[in-house]
Chains A and B, each alone.
Chain A
């Protein structure tokens, strides 16, 4: 469930990236100097950092680690005979 929630939130973030609602607002400033659209996208970057952090914490694939003992030296795989 938590995996679905986190990846769902990342999908939502990608959708919310399209901030058409600030599209023509040149008056609103955040902290008195940041154009609202720029401030919003800085927020998107911070949200991406947090969500990918959560994804690494809760959705990290289990089968990725390879020990030195399992590592092979390269030899081309034969594939189909």
Chain B
């Protein structure tokens, strides 16, 4: 049987299976060089070279958001997303690796640290700083792990729809197939994914994690470029795809909203309204379909005529990675030849409307122009500071062979970010105005109730009708998800072992063998708890809103680490004040936003910051970092300086 003859979803499944098998093989291969010690398990005997370090650090830093979320966010907010997230990250991440990563590696190797808390305990002369830091770090990390598992399970479910209709039937009361019919069920997909990650982390620890992250980085770099090329080709070429955006949603190409943008919006909206009222065939009114999560997309096995008449509307949010790799073939909106709806003479004239295709007029509902203020754009620079305090990144930093290994990471990180983000952002922008087969490829707008931006990339890829690209995208999104998850499992296992059991139960006297054993056991515990929590929280959804705030929480800890490394006058009480102020402010913002919008609803990512006689909207990380830094400086200056022995230990040059 040819691969192309496989039932829908099976080719995608086999691509995913091949990828997971490759991860297990890497885990097995890593055992051949495993030394059987705790240091080897947790930090790969500090022997990872520059190339593997750059790939593993990048793979760990980039979540599924880099591939899937970035397209959705660009579709929603326009071209400014690249600047506020990707190019800021390129500058700031590299700065964190240069100023924090290499320095922590040096101190970690010199004094044998394996967790952040061990370092802070010594530097701050505080045996119990872990009592404050450990729950904060663990609680900030858990939502990411759960979201990752959630995303992986949902993504596999979407990608494998129709693969096993007899094994995993999903029928409604009337016996008709529902969305998800024949797909690998959520519990099984998540169980397999977490089990695979656990297996290679169990086998090879930090070394297997670094190897797996290297592979994952290569995969999702390839996915970004391949998807970009095929999508552009589908839309009639790069220039044509962008031209459609200029004509229908020009505000997506800018951060400002001009009078001209409003004028074009009104004009396009009037055309769309007229088109709807004429009831032309194929119109896709942006009303919301009823039903729960995931039930609004047309089922694969639905008859074409039925599919055509359905409102292809956004389902409820289905998790961070939902929609990735969705239906390469099957029951999506019908798609015809490449770029067919994009040609023809001009029909509409108006400001900025260069020549829309006659057949496309009225088909697309324009997006309402939305401005991105300059302060919002600027304040996003605070978010990437979070990488300085990610426990899983700290763990990977410690695996470096030498300080010089960081040079390649510092240098190439901005370029790698660009390679993965720029194509995904372009696809997201094109998606706002993409028509295929006389219909919008994304048949809803950000203003549609329940619109799920995470579906955008999946829908664009689905329009290609190419199961190979769909399968590749599924593997790419999965790679991005699992790439962070493995290091998070390992770092939480390490923190439980070193910062809780060893410090409080064994009084820092554990043997190497005990550390290794406890480390592995805790990794199992973290995996199991995460998996069960994912199944429990899957339907409740408070986790979605919470995850957005986790980056801000890690950012609020940035003053703590930068002060500890570069300011000898920083004191224990300054550190406590900084953490309590920064995190406390974040909790206040979160509770306030949750009470206003509902904790399970998508929360506004901006908070008001009063100043200069008016109120500014900025990301929460901005006031949190500033307040934490102010508290650190103020309280440190008011309290007794650290002991001379501590200063000499951490600042030997002076």
A residues whose Cβ falls under 8 Å from a Cβ of B: 10, 13-14, 17-20, 22-27, 29, 31-35, 37-38, 41-42, 44-46, 48-49, 52-53, 55-57, 60-61, 63-66, 70-81
Contacts and interface: CB of A to CB of B under 8 A. Distances in A.
B110 A66 contact: yes
Interface stretch (B197-205, B294-302, B326-334, B414-422): B414-422
B622 interface: no
A46 B596 CA distance: 41
A69 to B, nearest CB: 11
Given A38-B422, A71-B109, A33 B414 contact: no
Contacts of A24: 254-258
Contacts of A49: 90, 411-415, 418
Contacts of A55: 98, 410
Interface string B107-127: 001111110001001100101
B558 interface: no
A74 B118 contact: yes
A45 B121 contact: no
B87 A17 contact: yes
A71 B426 CA distance: 48
B217 to A, nearest CB: 16
A48 B79 contact: no
A45 B418 contact: yes
B503 to A, nearest CB: 8
Contacts of B378: 18
19 contacts: A13-B91, A18-B378, A26-B250, A26-B261, A33-B238, A33-B242, A34-B242, A37-B80, A38-B79, A45-B414, A52-B414, A61-B103, A63-B106, A74-B113, A74-B114, A76-B121, A79-B643, A79-B646, A81-B643
A42 B411 contact: no
Contacts of B652: 63
A78 B406 CA distance: 30
Contacts of B411: 49, 52-53, 56
A64 B401 CA distance: 12
A8 to B, nearest CB: 14
Nearest to B374: A20
B122 A76 contact: yes
A7 to B, nearest CB: 10
Contact of B125 (A10, A17, A79): A79
Given A14-B91, A33-B239, 12 more contacts: A17-B88, A23-B255, A26-B261, A32-B239, A33-B242, A45-B86, A45-B90, A45-B417, A53-B411, A65-B106, A77-B121, A80-B645
Q: Which of B103, B105, B418, B653 has the most CB of A within 10 A?
A: B418
Contacts, number: 181
Contacts of B88: 17
Contacts of B125: 77, 79-80
Contacts of A35: 79, 242, 253-254, 429
B82 interface: yes
B646 A48 contact: no
Interface of B: 79-80, 82-83, 86-88, 90-91, 94-95, 98, 102-103, 105-106, 109-114, 118, 121-122, 125, 127, 237-239, 241-242, 246, 250-251, 253-258, 261, 352, 374, 377-378, 381, 402-404, 406-407, 410-415, 417-418, 422, 425-426, 429, 508, 642-643, 645-646, 649, 652-653
B642 A80 contact: yes
Contacts of B646: 77, 79-80
A65 B239 CA distance: 50
Interface of A is mostly: loop
A46 B352 contact: no
The 10 A-B residue pairs whose C-beta atoms are closest, nearest first, are A79-B125, A74-B112, A64-B403, A33-B238, A45-B418, A48-B414, A24-B256, A77-B122, A80-B643, A26-B250
A13 B257 CA distance: 25
Contacts of B253: 25-26, 35, 37-38
A74 B238 CA distance: 56
Contacts of B643: 79-81
A64 B418 contact: no
A60 B101 CA distance: 13
A26 B110 contact: no
Contacts of A34: 242, 426
B91 A74 contact: no
B508 A75 contact: yes
B646 to A, nearest CB: 5
Contact of B82 (A13, A38, A46, A73): A38
Contacts of A81: 643
Contacts of B653: 63
A3 B37 CA distance: 41
Contacts of B404: 60, 65
B258 A42 contact: no
Contacts of A64: 102-103, 105-106, 403
A70 B261 CA distance: 63
A13 to B, nearest CB: 6
A18 B79 CA distance: 14
